[in-house]
Structure 1
Amino acid sequence: MNNINPQSISNHSKNLFLKASNLMPGGVNSPVRAWKNVQGSPIFIDHASGSYVWDVDNVKYLDYVLSWGPLILGPRASRNYRYCNAYID
């Protein structure tokens, strides 16, 4: 598991951030999350499971922040998948 260190952000994430910066102000969907003020580049998350997230270079991180949905159940909570699949079927 890794800590996010601005010097360790991969070129892949940096390139994605440059592309995103051309599409939306600050390269993010919220001025609060703009990285310009912290002089760094964000990591780009590829996937998540439980309390872990993986970036585009397959580096694993513990998701301390979580989010509104994952805060309660964690990403990819199996009961959510079962419920959604049963509803769709």
Structure 2
Amino acid sequence: MAFPSRKDASRAQRKSAKKHRPEIIVIDLKDHVLGRAAAVVAKQLLLGKKITVVRCEQLNIAGTEIRNKIKYLQYLRKRKLTNPTKGPFHHRAPS
């Protein structure tokens, strides 16, 4: 039984790499709930798929506006007990 040469093995690896391109999924989030949509997107990303999300502006956020604002402000207020300058840092989105 003959073993494949290194050159043949690398050629076979390149061919198999071309076959295993990540699957691209387009998700329309109009009228979906934020948390459930985030869970689905996160799972697909962990599986190695590429995700494109469209119509995010029309996403539903569960709960009242005041409750969601309070939850977000509590998240921003979190600091480390020993030295607040060491994090956690909550960066704002550039847009």
TM-score range (shorter-chain normalised) is under 0.3
TM-score between both structures, scaled by the size of structure 1: 0.23
TM-score by length of 2: 0.22
